[in-house]
Amino acid sequence: MKAFPLVLLLFASGAMAAELELQGTYERRTDSYSRQVLGDAVCFIPDEKFAQRVPRPAGDDRRAWFCFSNLGAALKGFALPAGRKGCGARGSARIVISDYVVSREGGESVDKARLERVVSKSAPGPIPCNE
């Protein structure tokens, strides 16, 4: 049996349990619109060459990005301040994730993943409020 049926099983459940290493941008947006849509969240946008590693069902052409299901670990791992300052903070990082869950909801729902560890990161810098 080829790997293809296994991939279908992973997407049938909507989750991927294996660990995955990605490089990209982490951010915590604190502007009112982002807080209304995402709540208090730390999210990750993989660099283009890593984006194809993010699980996607056939025909799903959404941009590859997700938020962390373990907020406390993400705040600590990226050394993000707990309070709100400006419109947020972002930096670049290489991370390892697991328990990736593809959102099956429409609208502004977002995929989730568990942050396992931060391999390397830059210090977080401010997100301009006009972005």
What per-residue confidence (pLDDT) applies to 16? 59
Residue indicated by tokens 């406390």: 72
What per-residue confidence (pLDDT) applies to 13? 43
Task: Name residues of the chain where pLDDT drops below 70.
Answer: 1-17, 82-84, 105-108
Report d(CA 99, CA 14) in Å as an integer: 10
Angle formed at CA 16 by CA 68 and CA 98, multiple of 5 degrees: 40
Report d(CA 28, CA 127) in Å as an integer: 9
What per-residue confidence (pLDDT) applies to 7? 36
What per-residue confidence (pLDDT) applies to 88? 94
Report d(CA 131, CA 125) in Å as an integer: 14
